[in-house]
Structure 1
Amino acid sequence: MLKTFLKFSFALVLCYWLFKNGKLDFSLLSQAFHLGYLWIWGVILLVSRLLFCPLRFKILLDTKSKTPVPYLKVFAFDAIGNLFSVILPGAAAGDVVRFFYYKNVSSEVTSGMIAAFLTIDRLIGLMGLMGLAIAVTAFNYTSFIQLSPQLVSLFIINAAVFIFLCIFMFFIFSKWFPKKKIESILAKCLHRWPKALVILTDILNIELGFSNFIKCFILSVLNQTFVVAGFWLLISPFIPESTSFLKVFTILPIGFIGSSLPIAPAGLGVGHVLFDNLFRLIQIDNGASLFNIFFVVNIFVCLLGLIPYLIVRAESHDK
C-alpha cells in the first residue's frame, strides 16, 4: 500500500512540476475535441485494438487447452486487465490481475502455464513495438540520425534487444532446442526460487509453433500500429506542418516502452516527462501536453473494462 502511494505521489509531483514550469497545458485537451473530427478516428482506433488484441492470448491458451477458450471470455479478462493497468502502477499490474482471472479459465491449463503465457505475451508485445520502431526508423534513418546521437544509441540498443528476443523465441519454439538439458540446469540454479523455476519450465514447454508465433507477432504489430496512429490523430492538430508523421513516429515507440515501466499508472508523470524530452528532439516544445491528450483518452478507453468487470463479477456471485 505504501509503495503504491509513493508511486502515485511521485507521478503527481512530476505532473505538478511540469505544470508549474509551463510544460503541461491542460487547455490543449479541450481544444483537441473542438479542432475537427480526427480525434474521433483516434478514439475508434484505440477502442478497436481492444477487440483483436485478446486474439494473441487466445492463440497461446489454445495451444494447451483441448477445448478452445471462448473469445468473449478472453476479451473480458483482457479488458479487465487493461482497466487495472490504468488504475494500478504500470502495465504489469494489469498482467497480475489477468493472471488471477485466467488461472481458472481451463482445467487443462495450470497456473504456472498462465504465468508463462503472460510472460510470452508481454515479450511478443514488446517485439511488435520494437519491430515496428526498427522498420519505420530504418525507412526514415537519414532524418532520424539528424535528431540526436542519443536516439541513434537507443536505436542500436532497440535493434540488439529485438534480435536477442527473436533468437530466444526461435530456440524456445524450435525442435532443436535441448529443453530437457536446460530444464535440468535451471533446476540446479533456481532450486531456491521454485516459483520462478515453474514459470521458466512452463515457458520451455510451450508448444506454440512457428505459424502461431507469426500470427501473434502480426497481431502485436497491428496493435502497436493502431496505438501509434491513434496517438497521431489525437495530436496532429497541434503538430507543425513541417513535422512529418514519420518523424513523430520515430520517437513514439521509445516513449511507449518507457511509459509502460511499473512506476505509475498508464505512464502518469513519467510518460509526461519522457515525451516532453522526446518531442524536444524534433523541435516540439509541448510534448508533455501532447502526451496528456493521449493519456486522458487512453484512460477512458481502458475504463471501458469496467463493463466486463461488473458482468464477470455478477456471474461469479450468481454461482
Structure 2
Amino acid sequence: MLRAVKKSHVFLLIKLTLAVILVMVLLNSGQLDFRSILIVFEKLDLFVPALVCLFLGIVISGFRWWLLLRATDNNIPLGTVLNLQLIGSFFSTWLPGAAGGDAVRGVQVFRLLKNGRSTALLSIVADRVFAMIGLISVAVLVSFFLPMAISPDASIYEYVGLIQTLAFVLVGAIILALVGIYSALRFSFIDYLPVKIRHYLHPFGVTLLMYLRAWPTLLICWAVSVLATGIVIIGMVTIASIFSYAANPQVTAIAGIFGNLFSVIPITPGGVGVGESVFSKVCVELAARTAPFATIYFSFRVGMLIVNIPGMIVSLFYSTARHREKADASI
C-alpha cells in the first residue's frame, strides 16, 4: 500500500514537472502571455455569457450521465446526479492529484446504491466515451465550414483528414464492439474463459446488454453530447473574441476541440500545457500567422476554474450532509 502511494506521488510529481516545462516553453516562445489574460475581466459583456456557456456544458453533461444511469436501471434523482456532476467537475478542474472527478463520482455513487453498483460505476466510463463522441462529432460538423474561413496557405487538408480519421476510427470501434458482443453471445465464447476472468467480465457484459436494449437512450445521449460540446465550444469562441488577435470562429472551434481532446490524455494534471500547445499549433497553422494563441486556451481554463466554484460549494454541503447522516446513524 505504501509503495502504491509513493508511486502515485512520483507520477504526480512527474506530471507537474511536465506541466511547468510546457508552460515555460509557451511563455518563452511568446505563445502564452499571462498579463493579457486580465483583459477578460474588463470585457464582462463577453466573458459572463461565455461562463454561462461553460457552466451549461457541465450541467448538460450531468443530464447525459443521468440518462446513462437510468439505462442501467439505476434510478438516482436528477438533482442528485447533477450535484455529483458538479462535484466531479470541480475535483477534475481544481485538484492535480489522482483523486479525479470520475473517482469522486464513483465513490459517491457507490455510497448511494446498495444494488447495481457495478453498472452504475461503468456508466461513468460510458459517460467519458460519449464525451469523446461529442467532441469528434462537433469536429466533423465544424470541418464542413472550415474551408470557407481560413487562409488558402493553411494546412487545411491535414486537419480535415485527421478529423475524418478520428470519425472513421470511432465508427469502426463501435461496429467492432457490436460485432464482438454479438459473437460472444451467439457462440458463447465467454464460457471458454477461466472462471475468474468470467467473474470480472460479467458486469461489463450485463452493462453492455442493458445499453443495447436501451439504444434509443444512447441516441439521445449522442445528441446531448453534441449539445454539451457545442455550447462549451461556443463559450470558448466567445472568450477568443475578447482578444484582438484571435483566429476566425471556425478555426478557434477546431483548435478548441483538438485542445480538449489532447487535454484528456493524462500527460499532465488536467492537461495543463498540453491543451494550450495543441490549441496554439492548430491556430497558427490554420490561421497562417503567429500570435499568443495559447493565451486564449489558458483564459478558457481560467473560465472553467470559475464555473466550477459552484461544484466546490456543493461539495462542502454534500460532505456536511454525509457527516450528519453518519452522526445520526451512530446515535
Short-chain TM bin: 0.7 to 0.9
| Amino acid in the other structure paired with 1:303 | I
How many angstroms apart in 2 are the aligned matches of 1:151 and 1:194? 42
Q: CA deviation at 1:74?
A: 0.4
| 1:146 Cα deviation from its structure 2 partner | 5.6
1:19 aligns with 2:27: yes
What amino acid does structure 2 have at the position aligned with 1:275? F
Shift of 1:58: 1.1
1:232 partner letter: V
Q: Label 1:187 to 1:101 Cα distance change in 2 as closer, same or farther (>3 A).
A: farther
Q: Which ranges of structure 2 fall in alignment gaps of 5 or more residues?
A: 1-8, 326-331
Alignment partner of 1:106 is 2:110:
no
Structure 2: how far apart are the matches of 1:252 and 1:70? 33
Q: Is the 8 A contact 1:45 1:227 kept in 2?
A: yes
SS at match of 1:294: helix
For residues 232 and 98 of structure 2, the distance between their equivalents in structure 1, rounded to whole angstroms, comes to 15
Structure-2 residue corresponding to 1:205: 209
- 8 Å contact kept, 2:183–2:189: no
1:236 is aligned to 241
Q: Aligned in 2, Cα 1:36/1:93: closer, same or farther, shift over 3 Å?
A: closer
1:289 deviation in Å?
A: 1.0
Q: 2:172 aligns with which of 157, 164, 174?
A: 164
Provide, for residues 233-271 of structure 1, a one-character-per-residue CA deviation record: whole Å limited to 9, x for no partner: 112122448x43123223321221011212223321111
* Shift in Å, 1:179: 5.3
1:20 deviation in Å?
2.7
| 1:91, distance to aligned residue in structure 2 (A) | 10
In structure 2, the residue matched to 1:57 is 65
Task: Tell me which residue corresponds to 1:227.
Answer: 232
Partner of 1:132: 138
- Distance in 1 (alpha carbons) for counterparts of 2:276 and 2:41: 20
Cα distance in 1, alignment partners of residues 238 and 46 from structure 2: 6
How far apart are the structure 2 equivalents of 1:268 and 1:58? 29
Q: Residue 180 and residue 289 in structure 1: after superposition, are their counterparts in 2 closer, same or farther (change >3 A)?
A: same
Q: Which amino acid aligns with 1:306?
A: M
Change in 2 beyond 3 A, CA 1:196/1:29 = farther
2:256 aligned partner: 252
* Deviation readout 1:123-157 (Å, 9 max, x if unpaired): 11111111111112023346579632432331232
Q: Distance in 1 between matches of 2:98 and 2:56?
A: 19
Does structure 2 conserve the Cα–Cα contact (< 8 Å) formed by 1:272 and 1:292?
yes
Structure having the higher Rg? 2
Contact 1:86 1:302 survives alignment (8 Å): yes
Paired AA for residue 3 in structure 1: F
Name the aligned partner's letter for residue 296 of structure 1: V
8 Å Cα contact 1:190-1:197 kept in structure 2: no
Distance 1:119 1:199, change over 3 A: farther
Could you list the runs of 5+ residues in structure 1 that have no partner in the other structure? none
Q: Find out whether 1:275 has 2:279 as its counterpart.
A: yes
Structure 1 pair 100–155 and aligned structure 2 pair: CA distance change class (3 A) = same
Rate the CA distance shift 1:12–1:189 in 2: closer, same or farther, 3 A.
farther
Which residue of 1 is the match for residue 161 of structure 2?
A: 153
What TM-score, normalized by structure 1, do the two folds share?
Answer: 0.86
